[in-house]
Structure 1
Amino acid sequence: MVMWVFGYGSLIWKAGFNFDERVVGFIKDYRRVFYQGSTDHRGTPEFPGRTVTLEPAEGEVCHLEVREKQYDKKAYLDFFTEPTATTPALSGVMVYIASPDKKLNVNYLGPASIEDIAKQIVQAKGPSGPNREYLFKLEEALLQFECKDKHVSDLANEVRRIISERELTAS
């Protein structure tokens, strides 16, 4: 049996399972957003971190079971490797998605300003490490694949600004 899993967050740099092949590409009409709370890896129940999920967004593209237990939905989507392609390179690629339905997904944090999300990321840490590390590793991995994601880069820049400001204040 062949199964393709689309990694759009930490699966990009840390799969955590053996795989036979990696293909770089994207899905259409979704965007990556830091709206999912992490109470088991990058935060705690008392102070959740933020990790990425996908949300439908017409015209957007997003590049690239225990571990994903806080995501309540699976979708099977088309995967593209060329921006102008009308036919997908792969169909039926499994994607984990955190829905905004608080009854099904108690950890969904939802939209907030870049500033508020950044403040939360700067403070949060969990068993897998600081929340900022997740953000910076995601940013780095996307840059290595030459994928531009404005939400991720804006958020990383704001987190760096907050960290620099705090270091200046402390000295």
Structure 2
Amino acid sequence: MVLWVFGYGSLVWNPGFEFDEKVIGFIKGYKRVFDLACIDHRGTPENPARTCTLEAHGGAICWGAAFCVRGGPEKEKFAMEYLERRECEYDQKTLVDFFTEGDTIMPMLTEVLVFTSTPDKISNKYYLGPAPLEEMASQIATASGPCGNNREYLFRLEKALNDIGHDDDSIIELANEVRKKLGLKGRPKEKKLEVPHIPLKSHIQPLHALPLAEAIALDS
């Protein structure tokens, strides 16, 4: 058996589980947003952190990394148990098509697992929803938890995306606003090359929502 998992947040730089292959690429129809609360890793119940999740958005693409776990059911089970504990604030699993830069029409992989969250404050207690940029920056600049402070999570994500060669302008904008709050120098925007339109032909199949597990102090 083979398990593929798509990482778009801290999994990009810190997967935390044993994997056999890592491939840089993207999924279609989603954008990265900082709309999810974290109360046990980078924040507390009294002062929750903001971490990223995915929001369905037509025409969008989200770059990240796909991780492959090979070696049979036991190895896959071990990886899934770890991920379900770590990603306990994400209440859904979704299967997506995964594309690489060399082939933007035909997916390299299908049925790649990604952890997502229900964008509803009633059914998902961790969902914060969108907020003005300045408000999000203030929250991220001050939140801290067992795994470190919230701003480190944001800055490490910004660097990880730069390291794989696919900056996210919304992440740079948010990170610069946090730096402004902290009195730090902002990162200049780099001139980007024009990217050809990538048609949406993925078949995204949502799976069942999972009950929220007890949180543990692992970065999400």
Q: In which range does the TM-score fall when normalised by the shorter chain?
A: over 0.9
Superposition TM-score, scaled by structure 2 size? 0.73
The equivalences for 1:42-61 within 5 A come to 42-61=42-61
Most deviating of 61-70 and 78-87: 78-87
Q: Paired residue for 1:130? A: 149
| Residue-by-residue CA offset, 1:107-143 (whole Å, 9 max, x unaligned) | 1111011111000000100111000000000000000
What is the Cα-based RMSD across aligned positions, in Å? Answer: 1.1
Higher radius of gyration, 1 or 2: 2
Q: Paired residue for 2:214? A: none
Task: Write the distance in 2 (CA, Å) between the matches of 1:157 and 1:53.
Answer: 20
**Which amino acid in 1 is paired with 2:111?**
G
Residue 87 of structure 2 is aligned to residue 68 of structure 1: yes
Runs of 4+ deviating beyond 6 Å: none
Task: Write the distance in 2 (CA, Å) between the matches of 1:83 and 1:117.
Answer: 35
**Which amino acid in 1 is paired with 2:54?**
L
Quick one: which of 123, 131, 135 aligns to 1:112? 131
Residue 122 of structure 2 is aligned to residue 103 of structure 1: yes
| Residue-by-residue CA offset, 1:38-96 (whole Å, 9 max, x unaligned) | 01101001110000000011111101100000100110000000276211000001010
**Offset at residue 102 of structure 1 (A):** 2.3
Q: Which has the higher contact order (CA 8 A, sep 6+)?
A: 2
Structure with the bigger percentage of strand: 2
**Which amino acid in 2 is paired with 1:3?**
L
Identity %: 54
Task: Write the distance in 2 (CA, Å) between the matches of 1:83 and 1:96.
Answer: 25
What SS does the corresponding residue of 1:155 show, helix, strand or coil?
Answer: helix
What SS does the corresponding residue of 1:28 show, helix, strand or coil?
Answer: strand
| Residue-by-residue CA offset, 1:9-29 (whole Å, 9 max, x unaligned) | 000011010100000000011
**Offset at residue 33 of structure 1 (A):** 0.3
* Structure 2 unaligned residues grouped into runs of 5+: 65-83, 185-220
